Amino acid sequence: MKKRLWMVMLPGLALVALFAHSESDQYQFKVDRSLAIPMSFQVTQLKAMQLQAMQLQAMQLQAMQLQATPPRASSLRVSSLRVKSHVALIFDVQTQRPLYNKNGQTVVPIASITKLMTAMVLLDANLPMDVEVSVAEDELNKIRRAKSRLRVGMTLTRSEMLRLALMASENRAALALARSYPGGTAALVEAMNAKARALGMENTRFYDPTGLDSDNVSTAQDLVKMVAAAGQYPLIHQYTTTASHTMDNLNGRAMRFSNTNPLVRNASWDIGLSKTGFINEAGQCLVMQATINHRPVIIVLLDSWGRRTRVGDANRIKKWMERADTLDRIAQRG
């Protein structure tokens, strides 16, 4: 934990202020009275002038320290935000500090949020995206029973498979991509864990590329790092924010796929990255990179129960931040 030590000299007492930044973004103030100057000390005119100079210097130092401290929204009151998700983290990208943290260190299953790491590792391999990949084997039910609109035998380009895996969270698309990776699925999963370690995701483990395996676990704090990294890939940005996509099935009929996050179709949201997830063990999950009132944030919501809870929480967070910015503007006008 980084600490800053400020000393302010005042008549009769030297105050040593120890400021320690904690996870809750609060500051602690301690007074060291062992440095107290005896009150009987006779201050001559010369010493009084020296003391005033020292006080001025201390005030200037304090002002410099305050300017160096990342800005905080004074109106963002954590107590006024009611988030129903069991795990929630709102991370301010500019200040690199959490605005809200609820169980951010808890290790939980992350379901299809996994596919962001699958996509990054696949793109890191620089494989040709126009190569066709087939849903050749029905491995889906070997993990768990899950629905898919893709049928065994369907052939799409690697780019189309990635689009469906990220936008519509298609598990067969993710499995097809994993099989097409050099060395196959096992090599891809190994690379996913290696990239997690490289990103400093110390509490994250992957066992399959879809997220259907409940042993795929992470924390909200780790997922902030993964979302920030994934946001650097143009294709991931494009595919996770696409509202819908239409393609032909085996019979030549049009199939329309929609984004699993309805907020990407909401014009009031400015979303740069989005991914949803769900299995029974993980509950409803949602991660987003968004800009709210010109403030870029990363939102992580895990273990939400009820189909609308994660979206409801996201909208509550947006209104909470917008209200705080409005209060700040009113306060600035006096």
- Which residues are known to be catalytic? 112, 115, 169
| Cα(198)–Cα(297) distance, integer angstroms | 22
β-strand 254-258 against 244-248: which pairing, if any? antiparallel
At 145, which amino acid appears?
Answer: R
Tell me the CA distances in angstroms from 6 to 19, 37, 62, 66, 277, one per residue in order: 8, 17, 7, 11, 47
| Cα(115)–Cα(276) distance, integer angstroms | 9
| Cα(150)–Cα(158) distance, integer angstroms | 14
| Cα(37)–Cα(221) distance, integer angstroms | 46
- Return the SS3 of 317: helix
SS3 content of the chain, % helix, strand, coil (to 5): 40, 25, 40
